[in-house]
């Protein structure tokens, strides 16, 4: 046996011993149950209220999706210059309204003056919501108007900004004051924002995985050391693909499910993809077409 062969076998033996040792010592723990995630059948969350059926993040969209029978909403939040939390996605308002400017530089009163239906075009090519009085919605308004809905909240303000530094604590105080602990999930692309929020919530609120947490979980899943992964999130809300990596395999879903972590996929707007994800074990569909998703869920239940 050559020297290189001996070295290779020794390295393999060391690797196997390390794996066996880590397996014996590892104590992977499931995430504790959260009431908001306690559902037996897959659910439908209307993305920004159902952004292909009505102007995103408007009461028109939320009302329409509620009438369709969705289980909840997936929304984004930002903070205004007078420190109000509004339901809004973009950093700048010009894409959806008849105005222009940065959300964080404007007061709630200024933002309320804009028409959120201005740029929306329906399936017939008409500006059917322009001038229909669709205004910016406060997060507190959404909670109060739809007390039966699960609301998934994505913090959009970056942690290094002034508004981003305030929003985790203000969001916690709002949820706590409304007693909405068991019907919200709080997440963000910024893991730091999720961590900041949880400093106040102390695990009393379901939290979603930030971008780094998703990468950490996927790396563990594809390695031989998945048993060492200790999750810091109660739910994964992810796309089907990140860069060249597929995140929608039944095995990855099962890996997270074994840790008591349900998986929701966004933004899924075609029935066939929805069907495949549900068959793979997805527990939620986040969609701009809640009409299609609700119909599919109803079909699979019957």
Positions annotated as catalytic residues are 47, 89
Tell me the C-alpha distance between 221 and 280, whole Å: 16
SS3 184: strand
Which pair of structure tokens corresponds to residue 187?
A: 């997440």
DSSP state for residue 90 in the 8-state scheme: -
Say if residues 209 and 217 touch (Cβ distance below 8 Å): yes
58, 111 contact by CB (below 8 A): no
The partner residues of 138 in beta bridges, in order of sequence, read 86
Instruction: Assess contact for 238 and 214: CB atoms under 8 A.
Output: yes
Least Cα distance to 86 among 101, 67, 106, 70 occurs for 106
Q: What is the distance between the alpha carbons of residues 155 and 82, in angstroms, rounded to a whole number?
A: 17
């Amino acid at each position: 046996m050559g020297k290189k062969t001996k070295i290779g076998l020794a390295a393999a033996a060391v690797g196997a011993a390390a794996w066996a040792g880590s397996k014996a010592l590892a104590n992977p723990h499931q995430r504790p149950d959260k009431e908001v995630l306690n559902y037996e059948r897959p659910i439908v969350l209307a993305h920004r209220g159902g952004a292909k059926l009505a102007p995103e993040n408007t009461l028109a969209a939320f009302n329409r999706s509620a009438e369709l029978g969705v289980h909840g909403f997936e929304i984004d939040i930002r903070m205004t210059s007078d420190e109000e939390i509004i339901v809004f996605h973009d950093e700048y308002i010009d894409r959806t309204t008849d105005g222009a400017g940065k959300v964080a530089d404007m007061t709630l009163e200024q933002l309320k003056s804009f028409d959120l239906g201005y740029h929306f075009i329906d399936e017939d090519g008409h500006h059917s919501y322009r001038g229909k009085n669709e205004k910016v919605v406060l997060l507190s308004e959404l909670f109060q108007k739809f007390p039966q809905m699960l609301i998934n909240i994505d913090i959009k303000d970056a942690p290094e900004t002034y508004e981003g530094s305030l929003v985790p604590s203000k969001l916690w105080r709002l949820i706590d004051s409304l007693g909405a602990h068991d019907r919200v999930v709080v997440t963000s692309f910024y893991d730091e924002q999720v961590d900041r929020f949880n400093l106040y919530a102390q695990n009393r609120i379901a939290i979603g995985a930030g971008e780094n947490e998703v990468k950490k979980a996927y790396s563990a899943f594809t390695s031989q050391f998945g048993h060492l992964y200790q999750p810091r999130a109660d739910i994964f809300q992810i796309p089907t693909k990140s860069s060249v990596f597929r995140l929608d395999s039944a095995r990855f879903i099962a890996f997270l499910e074994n840790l008591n972590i349900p998986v929701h996929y966004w933004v899924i707007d075609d029935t066939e993809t929805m069907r495949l994800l549900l068959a793979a074990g997805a527990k939620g569909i986040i969609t701009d077409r809640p009409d299609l998703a609700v119909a599919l869920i109803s079909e699979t239940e019957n």
